[in-house]
């Protein structure tokens, strides 16, 4: 395990119950694994593709070091896992519109330092994201990923019962409104209306239950009153209870026991299951330069 992957515990060898065509080293008991013995410049054969898909579903996020791939190879690798989306606001690579450019420098401070699941504001959010480091500071600019299956599993039973049938709105503008000119807000609302997703979604490949709300895009619970005991005196009692529940659920992502933290190096790649984890980009490196490229695989409608 590379010492630059920071974790609650040192990496542990993958359990021997499964045979992998590459090396797998766990980062924490809850989430994350580093993959070695694979060259992502080469096309994936069916067996390696299937094994990588199992690895990312099992570990939620997997890391690759020293992968000096071209943008075209990045897109080809990502496309092996499904159709790729084109983000409506982030700048794109000039030759590959599926490849988002995330660049921060002394004139542009990052704003990704909040817990979120990519594009949960879409009616069909992403299956996964594949992020490659092109340039990063010597220190700073780490990213954390959070296992939201564990976050759900460890909730008190009464909370699980309360939220099992709740649905929440996920919206584009609360976060991206700052980078979209105000005169275009109405157009973007029409193009990307609020997406309504279950507060607890089911992973389509494992059947796991996932806590699926995030502080970046989830704005409110749309059916709170239909699934709670009517014990309120006034309307503000009801609204405050809904807001307090949502804030409580947001805070589950902050538990270190569910997290892994990666220290980036050039040509490091992180591939995460966007259905079952959230992430947080630590903004402690300004005004240093941090340059990343990301491809996002289209997923499925949460149920």
Q: How confident is residue 8, by pLDDT bands cut at 50, 70 and 90?
A: very low
179-200, pLDDT tens digit by residue? 667 777 777 788 788 999 999 9
pLDDT of residue 13: 42
pLDDT digits (tens, 9 = 90+) for 234-244: 767 788 889 99
pLDDT tens track for 122-133: 999 999 999 999
Supply the residues annotated as catalytic.
Answer: 116, 118, 279, 294
Is the separation of the CB atoms in 222 and 239 below 8 Å?
Answer: no
Q: Which two tokens stand for residue 181?
A: 């000119």
**Whole-number Å distance between alpha carbons of 249 and 171:** 17
Q: How does pLDDT run across 53-63, given as a tens digit for each residue? A: 999 999 999 99
Give the pLDDT confidence score for residue 6 in this predicted structure.
41
Which tens digit of pLDDT belongs to each residue from 72-125?
999 999 999 999 999 887 888 999 999 999 887 777 777 778 999 999 999 999
Torsion of CA 18, 24, 30, 32, to 10 degrees: -140
Q: What is the dihedral of CA 79, 84, 90, 96, to 10 degrees?
A: 50
User: What is the per-residue pLDDT for 230?
Assistant: 61
| Joined tokens for residue 203 | 């992973």
Q: How many domains does the chain have?
A: 1
The CATH number of whichever domain residue 11 belongs to comes to 3.60.130.10
**Once rounded to an integer, what is the mean pLDDT over residues 275-294?**
94
The reply to whether the predicted model has a pTM over 0.75 is yes
| pLDDT for the residue 177 | 55
Parent domain of 231: 1-303
Residue 51 has pLDDT above 50, yes or no: yes
């Amino acid at each position: 395990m590379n010492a630059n992957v920071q974790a609650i515990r040192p990496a542990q060898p993958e359990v021997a119950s499964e045979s992998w065509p590459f090396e797998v080293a766990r980062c924490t008991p809850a989430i994350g694994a580093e993959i070695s013995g694979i060259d992502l410049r080469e096309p994936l054969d069916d067996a390696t593709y299937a094994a990588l898909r199992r690895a990312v579903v099992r570990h939620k996020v997997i890391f690759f070091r020293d992968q000096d791939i071209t943008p075209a190879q990045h897109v080809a690798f990502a496309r092996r896992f499904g159709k790729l989306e084109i983000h409506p606001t982030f700048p794109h690579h000039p030759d590959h519109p599926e490849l988002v450019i995330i660049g921060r420098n002394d004139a542009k401070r990052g704003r990704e330092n909040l817990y979120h699941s990519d594009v949960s504001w879409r009616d069909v959010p992403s299956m996964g994201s594949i992020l490659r480091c092109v340039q990063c500071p010597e220190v700073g600019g780490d990213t954390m990923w959070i296992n939201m299956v564990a976050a759900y599993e460890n909730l008190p039973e009464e909370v699980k019962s309360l939220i099992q049938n709740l649905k929440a709105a996920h919206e584009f503008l609360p976060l991206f409104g700052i980078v979209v000119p105000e005169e275009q807000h109405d157009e973007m609302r029409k193009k990307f209306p609020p997406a309504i997703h279950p507060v607890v979604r089911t992973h389509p490949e494992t059947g796991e239950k996932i806590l699926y709300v995030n502080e970046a895009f989830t704005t409110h619970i749309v059916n709170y009153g239909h699934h709670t005991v009517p014990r309120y005196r006034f309307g503000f009692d009801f609204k405050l209870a809904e807001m307090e529940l949502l804030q409580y659920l947001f805070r589950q992502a902050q538990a270190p026991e569910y997290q892994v933290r990666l220290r980036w190096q050039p040509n490091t790649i992180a591939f995460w299951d966007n259905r079952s984890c959230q992430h947080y980009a630590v903004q402690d490196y300004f005004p240093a330069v941090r340059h990343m490229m990301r491809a996002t695989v289209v997923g499925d409608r949460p149920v």
